[in-house]
Amino acid sequence: MSTNKTVVIALGGNALLDPNTNGSVAEQIRTVERSCARVAQIIARGYHVVITHGNGPQVGNLLIQQEEAKKLVPPLPLDICGAMTQGQLGYLIQQKLREALARLGIAKPVVTVVTQVRVDRDDPAFGEPTKPIGPFYAERERPLLEQKGYVLKRVGKGAKPWRRVVASPQPKEIVEIESIKALIAAGAIVIACGGGGVPVVREDGRWRGVEAVIDKDLASALLAEELGAEILLILTDVDRVALFFGTPQQVFLDRLSVSEARKYLLEGHFPPGSMGPKIEAAIRFVEGGGERAYITSLEKAGEALEGLAGTEICRGEDPSPTAQT
Ligand code: ADP
Ligand code: MG
């Protein structure tokens, strides 16, 4: 089967490291292997695939390593840790996707681009950091950390209730976009914008990494738009999006127009930090010229592209007939 469509596939946390496992390297590799087998099937159907991914657990572990080893080696800042996870996960995806493609008789290069994403220094998000990252801290560790400029938030109880929070600014520009396009044009399957991309600002002609985390779904939407992709496929751990999620009134949705999506988002059906940014990403992508976006699980990804599973977000300006009754 052949299609000429480009699909940007955003791999969520559990497509890379299954939370039901012990989190070992062997489990990490097994999970990536499973995800790559699914992605390979999509490529085999003729889609031009570009991959983005989250990095939450991986960057969390790296930050713990920085903290625990700081007496031995200088700790690395968040932007460098983010870049490291792009290499780490990109490497594993390159290896496992190549193997999965080879099993299907497809020889295609798979390549990772360490991606910087420009954010605005005056993004209001810097004034109210919300994204918890890295290790948990005890009360007595607080003064020193706050002296370092960390913003801490009480997120739990017990001996270590504090956690660092950083800003989650809007992605404005993908610095390496032209290189990504060139690689795609040369026939490569590109992995880019891992972890939402490394957030950078431009100041007096220089680029500088900042201590922030860009939402990976919003970065994926920007990438998909810049590439002129037809489809944005956001893979997470639910098969479909629901209204009244997790309550007795829960209803799963097969299809949502952009205006319905925005309405339900405003009504609070999709919380920030989980489903909210996915819906926002889908809206931005479709409004920016994309054909449609899907939110589904890795298992249902193939069926979703056929219109047989998942939640589709599409333009559909027509008011629904039921709205008039
Ligand atoms: P990922 O790490 O895969 O990018 P997240 O864990 O941030 O994704 O967000 C996905 C989660 O959002 C789901 O596992 C689900 O628990 C939660 N969620 C919140 N609201 C909804 C909703 N309205 N419909 C479906 N899932 C929802
Ligand atoms: Mg998650």
Residue 156 confidence class, pLDDT cut points 50, 70, 90 = confident
Nearest CA owner, ligand 1 atom 26: 241
Q: Using CA atoms in the order 115, 120, 123, 127, what is the torsion angle rounded to 10 degrees? A: 80
Interior angle at CA 170, CA 122 and CA 5, nearest 5: 150
**Residue 300 a catalytic site member:** no
Q: Is 245 in the pocket of ligand 1 (CB under 6 A)?
A: yes
Residues 220 and 193 sit within 8 Å (Cβ to Cβ): yes
More confident residue, 260 or 318: 260
What is the C-alpha to C-alpha distance for residues 272 and 53, in angstroms, rounded to an integer?
A: 18
**Residue 196 a catalytic site member:** no
Q: Name 230's Cβ contacts closer than 8 Å, sequence gap at least 6.
A: 5, 6, 7, 290, 291, 292
* CA distance readout (Å), 53 to 41, 148, 263, 268, 315: 18, 30, 27, 25, 25
Average pLDDT on 308-324 reads 73
pLDDT digits (tens, 9 = 90+) for 164-199: 999 999 999 999 999 999 999 999 999 999 999 999
Evaluate if residue 85 carries a pLDDT over 90.
yes
Residue 285 confidence class, pLDDT cut points 50, 70, 90 = very high
**Closest-CA residue to 176 (of 145, 151, 198):** 198
What is the C-alpha to C-alpha distance for residues 253 and 119, in angstroms, rounded to an integer?
A: 33
Q: Is 238 in the pocket of ligand 1 (CB under 6 A)?
A: yes
DSSP-assigned beta bridge partners for residue 236: 297
Nearest CA owner, ligand 1 atom 4: 12
Residue 1 confidence class, pLDDT cut points 50, 70, 90 = low
Average pLDDT on 201-217 reads 96
Q: Is 164 in the pocket of ligand 1 (CB under 6 A)?
A: no
In this structure, what DSSP letter does residue 167 have?
B
Angle between helices 78-103 and 25-44 (to 10 degrees): 60
What pLDDT score does 273 carry?
A: 86
* Window from 102-106, 120-124, 320-324 with minimum mean pLDDT: 320-324
Q: Name 167's Cβ contacts closer than 8 Å, sequence gap at least 6.
A: 123, 125, 126, 127, 128, 129, 130, 131, 211, 212, 213
Select from 51, 274, 296, 300 the residue to mutate for testing ligand 1; criterion: most ligand atoms less than 8 Å from CB.
Answer: 274
Q: What is the DSSP string of 279-321?
A: HHHHHHHHHTT-SEEEEEETTTHHHHHTTSSSEEEE---SPPG
Average pLDDT on 77-92 reads 98
**Residue 23 a catalytic site member:** no
More confident residue, 139 or 324: 139
**Considering the chain, what is the average pLDDT of its residues?**
94
What is the C-alpha to C-alpha distance for residues 122 and 231, in angstroms, rounded to an integer?
A: 31
What pLDDT score does 325 carry?
A: 37
Architecture of domain 6-120+172-314: 3-Layer(aba) Sandwich (3.40)
In this structure, what DSSP letter does residue 204 have?
T
Evaluate if residue 250 carries a pLDDT over 60.
yes
Evaluate if residue 2 carries a pLDDT over 70.
no
Interior angle at CA 213, CA 168 and CA 35, nearest 5: 120
> What are the domain boundaries of the chain?
6-120+172-314, 131-166
What is the C-alpha to C-alpha distance for residues 41 and 37, in angstroms, rounded to an integer?
A: 6
What pLDDT score does 134 carry?
A: 86
What is the C-alpha to C-alpha distance for residues 48 and 229, in angstroms, rounded to an integer?
A: 9
Kindly name the residue from 55, 82, 195, 216 that is annotated as catalytic.
216
Ligand 1 nearest-atom number relative to CA 217:
4
Ligand 1 centroid distance, CA of 87 (Å): 26
How far is it between the farthest Cα atoms of the chain?
70
Evaluate if residue 19 carries a pLDDT over 90.
no
